[in-house]
Amino acid sequence: MKHLDEFRDPQMARSLVGEIRRTTTQRRVLMEVCGGQTHSLLRHGIAAALNDSVELIHGPGCPVCVTPAEAIDFAQTLALEPNVLLTSFGDMLRVPGSSRTLLDVRRDGGDVKIVYSPLDAVELARTQPDRHVVFFAVGFETTVPTTALAVKQAAELDLQNFSLIVAHVRVLPAMEAIMQSPGCRVEGFLAAGHVCTITGFEEYNNFADQFSTPVVVTGFEPLDLLDGILECVRQLESDRCEVSNRYARSVQRRGNLSAQQLMDEVYEVADSPWRGLGVIPQGGYRLRSEFGHFDAARRFAELSEQMGCMIAPPLVQLSETAAACITGACPQNECRSGEVLTGLIKPVECAAFGTRCSPESPLGAPMVSAEGACAAYFKYQRTV
């Protein structure tokens, strides 16, 4: 293994790799749905070391990568509105929308500010009452409780100048969509430990039964990943399809109940567009009606309607171009992120990889984000 000696316990790593090889009677296909895990698998040479026994394909585990181009376009439009301050996590600034990035918009005079927490955006709204502060809320279940807290805080302060672009997504419906997609080769899943810290893992039981697929909750450390892979192949080799928690030091069966309560108070589950996968039933969240006045798509309804913005309920019909961009087949761009995000191709199979597309000059979100699969391949591994 490329970096075996860098493991905290190299002997244990060798032992797990050997056990995975001995256990598999055929090459198994597993998918992780967590950008942190993708990077760890490549960085530590695990994908390459196991390549003869296990094919690791990388699912849509990068929240920045699956944020629809249309939501990014909407954020850009708001940033150019007078008296509007658009706040966002830093990763989102370099992700292309239909034609440009939030960084481009900032260079053109748009008001865009990086924040490290949605609570910082609430504080900006509180201290700058003459401006409207919009927070671009992206991310999986891990970040939803914090934005829910921000909304509650804004409500308690009775802020009239704060809103969110809600682009949060849920992992399990995406896994279902992948299993139902034509040509799906996934035999087992490594479930994202950080998401399960919030959600728990009970909700995976029906999924494992319905699709006859093992689901193994794992962490990010290389030994956690090797242990999770071993559990997954053991199940496959003994015709078992169970949910197994191999990250018990962080994940409880029912997850973080107070975080879930906070999320339920502020958000409800809704159909949601994912870049690369299309609209996924129950694939995201929207604000509950009592917090609807914090929805930027409603506050700026005219703009969002003009843009056919899907983040505003009810969902509206998309233009052909916008729909194509959401499904990853944008005619303005040769990026094959849709196929990368669903595991149909590896980043290196995209003709633009490493030539016309690199972290310095990205054509698509998976090359921009710190959690993107294309960025991981570029940084750690050009083949596999």
Distances (CA, A) of 291 to 132, 308, 315, 322: 17, 22, 18, 28
Q: How far is the CB of 276 from ligand SF4 (least distance, A)?
A: 9
Q: How far is the CB of 114 from ligand SF4 (least distance, A)?
A: 22
Write out the binding residues for ligand SF4, residues 195-234 only, by CB under 6 A: none
| Position 138 contacts ligand SF4 (CB under 6 A) | no
Q: Which of 54, 171, 175, 367 binds ligand SF4 (CB under 6 A)?
A: 367
| Position 96 contacts ligand SF4 (CB under 6 A) | no
Binding-site size, ligand SF4 (CB under 6 A): 15
Compare residues 222 and 338 and give the one whose CB is closer to ligand SF4: 338
Q: How far is the CB of 349 from ligand SF4 (least distance, A)?
A: 9
Q: How far is the CB of 161 from ligand SF4 (least distance, A)?
A: 36
Compare residues 148 and 373 and give the one whose CB is closer to ligand SF4: 373
HEC readout, the chain: CCCHHHCCCHHHHHHHHHHHHHHCCCCEEEEECCHHHHHHHHHCCHHHHCCCCEEEEECCCCCCCCCCHHHHHHHHHHHCCCCEEEEECHHHHHCCCCCCCHHHHHHCCCCEEECCCHHHHHHHHHHCCCCEEEEEEEECCCCHHHHHHHHHHHHHCCCCCEEEEEEEECHHHHHHHHHHCCCCCCCEEEEEHHHHHHHCCCCHHHHHHHHCCCEEEECCCHHHHHHHHHHHHHHHHCCCCCEEECCCCCCCCCCCHHHHHHHHHHEEEEEEEECCCEEEEEEEEEECHHHHHHEHHHHCHHHHHHCCCCCCCCCCCCCHHHHHHHCCCCCCCCCCHHHHHCCCCCHHHCCCECCCEECCECCCHHHHCCCCHHHHHHHHCCCC
Two tokens, residue 46: 């695990």
Q: How far is the CB of 44 from ligand SF4 (least distance, A)?
A: 22
Q: Which of 69, 145, 364, 369 binds ligand SF4 (CB under 6 A)?
A: 364
Q: How far is the CB of 351 from ligand SF4 (least distance, A)?
A: 8
Q: Which are the contacts of 105, defined by CB distance < 8 A and separation ≥ 6? A: 76, 79, 80, 112
Q: How far is the CB of 327 from ligand SF4 (least distance, A)?
A: 13
| Position 275 contacts ligand SF4 (CB under 6 A) | no
Two tokens, residue 45: 């040479």
| Position 143 contacts ligand SF4 (CB under 6 A) | no
| Position 376 contacts ligand SF4 (CB under 6 A) | no
| Rounded-to-integer distance, Cα 341 and Cα 261, Å | 30
Compare residues 268 and 334 and give the one whose CB is closer to ligand SF4: 334
Please state whether beta strands 243-245 and 215-218 pair in parallel, antiparallel, or not at all (unpaired): parallel
| Position 380 contacts ligand SF4 (CB under 6 A) | no
| Position 62 contacts ligand SF4 (CB under 6 A) | no
Compare residues 313 and 354 and give the one whose CB is closer to ligand SF4: 354
Q: Which of 267, 352, 369, 380 binds ligand SF4 (CB under 6 A)?
A: 352
Q: How far is the CB of 58 from ligand SF4 (least distance, A)?
A: 11
Q: What are phi and psi of 177, to 5 degrees?
A: -60, -40
Site track for ligand SF4 across 305-344, x = CB under 6 A: ------------------------------xxx--x----
Compare residues 94 and 298 and give the one whose CB is closer to ligand SF4: 94
Site track for ligand SF4 across 281-300, x = CB under 6 A: --------------------
Q: How far is the CB of 54 from ligand SF4 (least distance, A)?
A: 23
| Position 357 contacts ligand SF4 (CB under 6 A) | yes
Q: How far is the CB of 295 from ligand SF4 (least distance, A)?
A: 30
Residues of this chain that interact with ligand SF4 (CB under 6 A) are: 335-337, 340, 347, 350, 352-353, 357, 362-364, 366-367, 374
